[in-house]
A and B are shown apart, each in its own frame.
Chain A
Amino acid sequence: MTTVAPTTTQRLEVRGDADVVRVRQLVRGVAQEARLSLVVQTKLVTAASELARNTLVHGGGGHVTVELVTEGARTGVRAVFADDGPGIADLDLALTDGWTSGGGLGLGLSGSRRLVERFSIDSAPGAGTRVEIVTWSR
């Protein structure tokens, strides 16, 4: 008896600083709708904040789509961060703690991967970057 709830996908452009804050708010709203616990919500929103900033800083801007997903009795949140930037040549290296291409702490990608249940990244030099994250209610 798997039910598929009507999911509405919400999309946000990431062009500036203020958009990163908007992404956080959007993800939090959907996370509340999916009845995620406060800690799980906080982890997800933090991951979204890191990834949206990556989209802006490393990808030169892009867009984020957020949706509520269901699987049986579970509900969850899926967010996709996409840009048409320079892409990442060495994914393994980029996912290493402390490695940074900019001036950051190098925890954006590797850290946010630890904050969500499913994390997948798709990128190649010149082909942009697409990161998908999913977190479930239980």
Chain B
Amino acid sequence: MSDASTGALSQVLTRHADEVRTAWLDAAAAELHGRSSRGELDREQTEIFEALVGGLADGGTTLRDAAFDQLRGILADVSAARARLGYTPRETAMAVFALKEGLYALVSDASVRTDITSLLRLVDDLGLYTFEAFAEAREAIITEQSEQLLELSTPVVKIWDGVVAVPLVGTLDSARTQVVMEKLLNTLVETGSEHAIIDITGVPAVDTQVAQHLFKTVVAARLMGAQCTISGIRPQIAQTIVSLGIEFGDIRTRASLADALLDALESGGRSAAEVTG
């Protein structure tokens, strides 16, 4: 496709703008029945259409060309917005592919002599690009959500003056254990607490890596001047720890969270009677 013909394509589109846009809008609106209003679709399509015509006038032949920078930007924005609003991939891509309906109208129009095959090919590219951008946006949402979930699943709570605890529930993987570690240590500083308790009653299994992370957390807390106790180790986990040969060394372990709390309070200089009574 030569520069002259991209110019010609741009002219054809401009001349038959109303015809093309109406067919495009009808097709898109039918596909999205009610999800987007005609007004919204119309605004969106105006932007895309103008960027497309502008890009063609600037000699753009494939979507990768610099002439289509603006068009790619618009498509990426539209796709990302749709991904966030929960549109299906089909709905997102169809909004662009519907442009072909407008172009088919040109093919059957005898007054149009320009060959628009390359334009149809370009629309295919636009559709694929939209699809990619949509997938990428979804990917970003998933990552974001899994991070939020990580935050939610590791509540570090102050359970007494000078004692913070994190009750862990569910399977621990390396990433989650690391998040817990950081959050727990930061909470020690923020609350000025000298005791931390990691309760793993709700943890069904612990592997070598996770045990290492727990171990490191205890050592790091000690470097900061705090005491860290691990409570609620199930019999199976104790067996795993021993059979894996993990050195738990002088790490303080207690049977239950209550025991660990009592212990922390006692070593804080208060007698158990004072605490319980």
Residues of A within 8 A of B140 (CB): 73
Question: 1/0 per residue A1-26: CB within 8 Å of B?
Answer: 10000000000000000000000000
* Residues from chain A with Cβ under 8 Å of B132 in the complex: 1
Would B136 and A1 count as touching, CB distance under 8 A?
Answer: yes
Residues of B within 8 A of A39 (CB): 182
A130 to B149, CA, bound (A): 41
Distance from B76 Cβ to chain A, minimum over Cβ atoms (Å): 8
Query: In whole angstroms, how far apart are the Cα atoms of A1 and B182 in the complex?
Result: 33
Q: Which secondary structure dominates where chain A touches chain B?
A: loop
Q: Once the chains are docked, how many angstroms separate the CA of A52 from the CA of B132?
A: 43
Interface flags, B121-159, vs A, CB<8A=1, else 0: 000000000001100100010000000000000000000
Chain A residue nearest to B143 (CB atoms) is: A138
Whole-angstrom CA separation of A111 from B223 in the bound complex = 17
Query: How far apart are the CA atoms of A1 and B128 in the complex, in Å?
Result: 12
> Could you tell me the distance between the alpha carbons of A39 and B186 in the complex, rounded to whole angstroms?
11
CA gap between A81 and B132 in the complex, in Å: 39
Q: Which residues of B contact A1 (CB under 8 A)?
A: 132-133, 136
Q: How far is the CB of B135 from the nearest CB of chain A, in Å? A: 10
CA distance in complex: A1, B140 (Å): 14
What separation, in Å, do the CA atoms of A43 and B16 have in the docked complex?
61
Q: How long is the Cα–Cα vector from A1 to B132 in the complex, in angstroms? A: 8
- Interface digits, B180-215 against A, CB 8 Å rule (1 contact, 0 not)? 001000000000000000000000000000000000
Cα–Cα, bound, A1→B135 (Å): 11
Query: B189: shortest Cβ distance to chain A, in Å?
Result: 12
List, in ascending order, chain A residues with CB within 8 A of B182's CB. Answer: 39
A39 to B183, CA, bound (A): 11
Residue of B nearest to A37 (CB): B182
Closest to A73 in B: B140
Q: Bound complex: CA of A108 vs CA of B24, how far in Å?
A: 65
What sequence of 0s and 1s flags, for each residue 45-77 of chain A, a beta carbon within 8 Å of any chain B beta carbon?
000000000000000000000000000010000
Which partner residue on chain A sits nearest B185 by CB separation? A39
The chain B residue with its CB closest to the CB of A72 is B136
B139 — nearest CB in chain A belongs to which residue? A73
Chain A residue at smallest Cβ distance from B182: A39
Bound Cα distance from A39 to B216, whole angstroms: 14
Whole-angstrom distance from the CB of B177 to the nearest CB of chain A?
A: 13
Q: How far is the CB of A42 from chain B (nearest CB, A)?
A: 11
Chain A min CB distance to B181 (Å): 9
Give residues in B with beta carbon < 8 Å to A: 132-133, 136, 140, 182
A-B CB contact pairs (8 Å), 5 listed = A1-B132, A1-B133, A1-B136, A39-B182, A73-B140
Closest 5 CB pairs of A and B: A39-B182, A1-B132, A1-B136, A73-B140, A1-B133
